[in-house]
Amino acid sequence: MKSFTRRELLKVFTGGIASVISAGQFTFLYNNKKRLKEKSMSGIMNIVELPEQGPWPTRDPFLFCVYHKDTYPAANDDLSPNASLAGRNLGQDFSNKDGWSMYHGEKVPGFPKHPHRGFETLTVVNQGIIDHSDSLGSKARYGDGDAQWLTAGDGINHSEMFPLFNKNSLNKIDFFQIWINLPSTKKRVDPYFKMFWDNNIPRVMESDDNGLTTKISIISGHYKGIESLKPPPNSWANNNKNNVGVWVINMDEGARWIIPKSTEKTLRSLYIPKNNKMKFKGEKLITNSRVDLIVKEDISIFNSGPKTNLLLLQGKPIKEPVVQYGPFVMNTRSEIQEAFRDYDRTQFGGWEWNTSAPTHGKEKMKFAKLLDGKFERPM
């Protein structure tokens, strides 16, 4: 069977069949991913090779994760790349030509207006800026260490554009976007989003015996008694009993760190992107992989490459059927059909901009206008 890229998941009105996925497994989307290990070793349950492009496979309660890392050229005055776009399939450019893609953007790179229902997106930006706009009238500019947690719930249309500001140097963007499922009782809740500004996100610095450091950014969950900011109220992560953890881990070259054990009934995976090189308790080098961990053990890891940018995802599984068609994620096919009818009828709200790909001005200043109309800026 075919595996789908993020661009195909976002193409709502073009062919395809809703995929029925058994609870906790993306068997339709990811059954062609090579499993490298099937037995435990040094705290490892399994190793799954990550695809060169497209979404990374995840485990319940997560739906998938994408990792964007682009190095754009200098910017024009209109926040677009100061480079020829010839030879790119504009509107569908995932080429990584010259180290960057336009994605669905035609002037500014990014993802113009598209709908969601029935799940959450968590966008964690290591570097670069994202402009958010949505059909309920809210908007935000965030990045460079910030995160945005969006509960799509009953339905929202939004755009995610990547404005470029540096006119005399390269413009880099580096972020994870994680799709988190909602249980059936929460799939039709009111949409909601909140900002986790960089200076409010708890971060812990650990030093090994050689004085080399590991930084753990706690986007969700807790680490050695330090709690993350509170997730949205209807999120699966909002209940501490579900033990949802999202950590970004930066290790110095040559650093050692121990991943502390967690509670049973939790699925835990460590994502090691390409060009990161890790060893587990002296075992062989692992790169470009999802490593599924035994949660009841402390696990020692060693960074044998340059400074890392790792992602740890964990949580108690929801264990409900998942039916996904593009950006709609529900429990039954009839609910997917209902989502299409509702979207055709309401567009999940209005759209106050005269473009499907709005940006928010030339001044690189972070802000958020929330769904309740309140404005906030990072302190």
The answer to whether residue 363 sits within a structural domain is no
3-state helix, strand, coil in the chain (%, to 5): 10, 40, 50
**Which pLDDT score, from 0 to 100, does residue 53 have?**
86
CATH code for the domain of 81 = 2.60.120.10
**Which pLDDT score, from 0 to 100, does residue 233 have?**
98
The answer to whether residue 365 sits within a structural domain is no
Q: How much is the pTM?
A: 0.91
Asked whether residue 152 falls in the same domain as residue 21, the answer is yes
**Which pLDDT score, from 0 to 100, does residue 22 have?**
36
**Which pLDDT score, from 0 to 100, does residue 264 have?**
82
**Which pLDDT score, from 0 to 100, does residue 70 have?**
98
Tens digit of pLDDT at every position of the chain (379 positions): 333 444 444 544 333 323 333 343 333 333 334 454 444 557 999 999 999 889 999 999 999 999 999 999 999 999 999 999 999 999 999 999 999 999 999 999 999 999 999 999 999 999 999 999 999 999 999 999 999 999 999 999 999 999 999 999 999 999 999 999 999 999 999 999 999 999 999 999 999 999 999 999 999 999 999 999 999 999 999 999 999 999 999 999 999 999 999 988 999 999 999 999 999 986 778 999 999 999 999 999 999 999 999 999 999 999 999 999 989 999 999 999 999 999 999 999 999 999 999 999 999 999 999 999 999 999 8
Query: Please, what is the Cα angle at 177 between 175 and 183, to 5 degrees?
Result: 160
In the sheet that 129-134 helps form, which strands lie side by side, from edge to edge?
110-116, 156-161, 129-134, 139-143, 367-369, 375-376
What is the spatial distance between Cα 118 and Cα 173, in angstroms, rounded to a whole number? Answer: 28
Question: Count of domains in the chain?
Answer: 2
Asked whether residue 121 falls in the same domain as residue 107, the answer is yes
The answer to whether residue 340 sits within a structural domain is yes
What is the spatial distance between Cα 310 and Cα 328, in angstroms, rounded to a whole number? Answer: 28
The answer to whether residue 147 sits within a structural domain is yes
**Which pLDDT score, from 0 to 100, does residue 31 have?**
36
Asked whether residue 231 falls in the same domain as residue 279, the answer is yes
Asked whether residue 293 falls in the same domain as residue 341, the answer is no
Which residues make beta-bridge pairs with 279? 302
Asked whether residue 206 falls in the same domain as residue 228, the answer is yes
Asked whether residue 156 falls in the same domain as residue 245, the answer is no
DSSP one-letter string for 283-309: ---B-SEEEEE-TTS-EEEEE-SSS--
The answer to whether residue 378 sits within a structural domain is no
Write out the residue range of the structural domain in which residue 231 sits: 34-54+202-319
Asked whether residue 42 falls in the same domain as residue 82, the answer is no
**Which pLDDT score, from 0 to 100, does residue 253 have?**
96
Query: Taking Cα atoms as reference points, which of 3, 10, 97 lies closest to residue 50?
Result: 3
**Which pLDDT score, from 0 to 100, does residue 314 have?**
98
